[in-house]
């Protein structure tokens, strides 16, 4: 099993590695401390000090606040609130629900039919980054992508329980 140094993993995160190496890294078993190496790289890449517990999505993390709450935070620093509540409910939303709005990004006739599908774009109020896009039938509830069991993940999978006193 190949072990990769921090600089190689930094380049992986920044998308700077050649395809063949990315493919090799993705296809092989991960070094046992890969999670913590990637966590350290994520931590050094953000301008704030809250401890990252889990990368959540591109640009989003679950962080540990000084008051022991756990919130979803953008790499710009904007906080979306408790991770057990869907962060999208606190995001800016742009709904592409007409042919005109869908044709802004898809050539005519290649996009979805707005009678059948809407595109919902969730945007960070802090930095304006497009964080997530949902393709859903009109009226479909906001999708809650993922609610991790953070304590179990650290205790049972990583064997490094979080200190919560």
Which residues contact Zn ion (rule: CB under 5 A)?
Answer: 74, 76, 78, 124, 126-127
**Min. distance of Cβ 70 from Zn ion in angstroms?**
18
- The Cα 129–Cα 141 span in angstroms is 22
**Min. distance of Cβ 29 from Zn ion in angstroms?**
34
**Min. distance of Cβ 146 from Zn ion in angstroms?**
18
Give the residue with the Cβ less far from Zn ion, 123 or 136: 123
74 close to 132: Cβ distance less than 8 angstroms:
no
**How far from the centroid of its chain's Cα atoms is residue 139's Cα?**
24
Give the residue with the Cβ less far from Zn ion, 83 or 154: 83
The values of phi and psi at residue 136, to 5°, are -140, 155
- What is the DSSP code string of 86-98? -GGGGSEEEEE-S
Q: Do strands 70-74 and 79-82 pair parallel, antiparallel, or not at all (unpaired)?
A: antiparallel
**Min. distance of Cβ 77 from Zn ion in angstroms?**
7
**Min. distance of Cβ 154 from Zn ion in angstroms?**
26
Among 51, 45, 82, residue whose Cα is nearest residue 64: 51
- What is the DSSP code string of 31-69? PTTHHHHHHHHHHHHSSS-SEEEEEEETTEEEEE-TTS-
């Amino acid at each position: 099993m190949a072990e990769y140094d921090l600089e190689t993993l930094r380049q992986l995160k920044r998308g700077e590695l050649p395809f063949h190496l990315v493919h090799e890294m993705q296809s092989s078993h991960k070094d046992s401390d890969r999670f913590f190496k990637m966590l350290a790289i994520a931590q050094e890449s953000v301008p704030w000090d809250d401890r990252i517990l889990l990368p959540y999505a591109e640009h989003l993390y679950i962080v540990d606040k000084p008051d022991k709450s756990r919130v979803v935070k953008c790499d710009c620093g904007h906080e979306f609130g408790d991770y057990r509540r869907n962060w999208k409910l606190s995001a800016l939303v742009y709904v592409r629900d007409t042919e005109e709005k869908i044709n802004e990004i898809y050539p005519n006739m290649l996009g979805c039919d707005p009678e059948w599908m809407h595109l919902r774009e969730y945007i960070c109020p802090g930095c304006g980054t497009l964080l997530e896009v949902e393709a859903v039938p009109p009226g479909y509830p906001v999708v809650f992508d993922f609610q991790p069991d953070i304590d179990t993940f650290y205790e049972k999978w990583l064997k490094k329980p979080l200190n919560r006193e």
